[in-house]
Structure 1
Amino acid sequence: MADSPVTVPTDADPLAFVDAVPHAVRRRDAHTLLELFGRVTGERPVMWGPSIVGFGSYHYRYASGREGDAPAAGFSPRSTATTLYFPYGFDGYDDELAALGPHRLGASCLYVKDLATVDLAVLESLVSRAYAQVTSS
């Protein structure tokens, strides 16, 4: 995982954040993800910084020596797509990603424009595997 900006948990209300998302599709999808991530992780949502809804946490240490804490699972409803975070990337996820539906990938981010166009069971499996990987190491 590449170095990323430091994000810390806040006392902001995740539901209020989601309710205030201006884009109707991103807002609807964020409500769906609140439920999906909560069910998969068994964790309550926490705002990390101003725009990431996180579930659980893990400690990371980069080869550069930088270290910190980050959400073990999380998402952010951005203006052009909803970003789902996969801290360890996507190695070994080829079959599930092929079955997911329309999406784009970054090094550790999955971008989805509309959850109505993806297979939510596949998405749930992806989130579950990634969360288990992060929390077991």
Structure 2
Amino acid sequence: MYEQKMKENDRDVIAFIEDIDNAKKREDAYKLLEIFTETTGQPAKMWGTTIIGFGSYHYKYASGHEGDAPLVGFSPRRAKHSLYFAAGDDRREDLLTDFGKHTTGKACVYINKVADINVDVLKALIRQSVEFLQERYPSEAGEDV
């Protein structure tokens, strides 16, 4: 049986950020922590070993696969910061046109530094992702953000 690897845990978010070797990357991680916390109203929690998540929801696919995931989150990776938003909502693509310098994956948006992006658009992306997931998984998506 499949065991989900990325689970919410009790690791200390601040200790995780303090362990970032690159001072600029660490400074940006604190900026992102402040923006995500303020925008969601949710406390930051560690998910797995490297993802800082906010809120949570329970998903279940038609295949029977199910699990828990943060509503939104980020990870200060060595190369770029990974920002995690809900995939599958066209509003995300519209918002990204005014976001600033970034690249995208399926559910990730990658940035080099916070100075490269429009923080107001980041806040809109966070709100859009949370709203989308709460609509899609209404009984599992936790409190309103």
| TM-score computed with the length of structure 1 as normaliser | 0.89
The residue type equivalent to 1:54 in the other structure is G
Kindly tell me: are residues 25 and 62 of structure 1, through their superposed partners in 2, closer, same or farther at Cα, counting changes over 3 Å? farther
Give unmatched runs, 5+ long, in structure 2.
137-145
The residue type equivalent to 1:124 in the other structure is K
Deviation at 1:89, TM superposition (A): 4.2
Give unmatched runs, 5+ long, in structure 1.
none
Q: Which residue of 2 aligns with 1:46?
A: 45
Q: Which residue of 2 aligns with 1:97?
A: 96
Q: Deviations over 1:114-135 (max 9, x none)?
A: 1111111111111111112112
Q: Deviations over 1:25-71 (max 9, x none)?
A: 32111101111111111110010111100111001112321101011
| TM-score computed with the length of structure 2 as normaliser | 0.85
Kindly tell me: are residues 107 and 83 of structure 1, through their superposed partners in 2, closer, same or farther at Cα, counting changes over 3 Å? same
Q: Which residue of 1 aligns with 2:11?
A: 12
- Contact kept, 8 Å, 1:41 with 1:55, in 2: the verdict is yes
RMSD: 1.4
Provide the rounded CA distance (Å) in 1 between the counterparts of 2:77 and 2:7. Answer: 18
Kindly tell me: are residues 89 and 31 of structure 1, through their superposed partners in 2, closer, same or farther at Cα, counting changes over 3 Å? farther
Q: Percent identity?
A: 41
Q: Deviations over 1:56-112 (max 9, x none)?
A: 100111232110101111110001100011133452223321111110000100000
Q: Which residue of 2 aligns with 1:22?
A: 21
The residue type equivalent to 2:128 in the other structure is R
1:62-73 matches, cutoff 5 A:
62-73=61-72
The residue type equivalent to 1:126 in the other structure is L
- Contact kept, 8 Å, 2:53 with 2:72, in 1: the verdict is yes
Structure whose CA Rg is larger:
2
Q: Which residue of 1 aligns with 2:135?
A: 136
After TM superposition, the runs of 4+ consecutive aligned structure 1 residues lying more than 3 A away are: none
Local SS of the residue matching 1:16: helix
Q: Deviations over 1:11-32 (max 9, x none)?
A: 1110111121122232111101
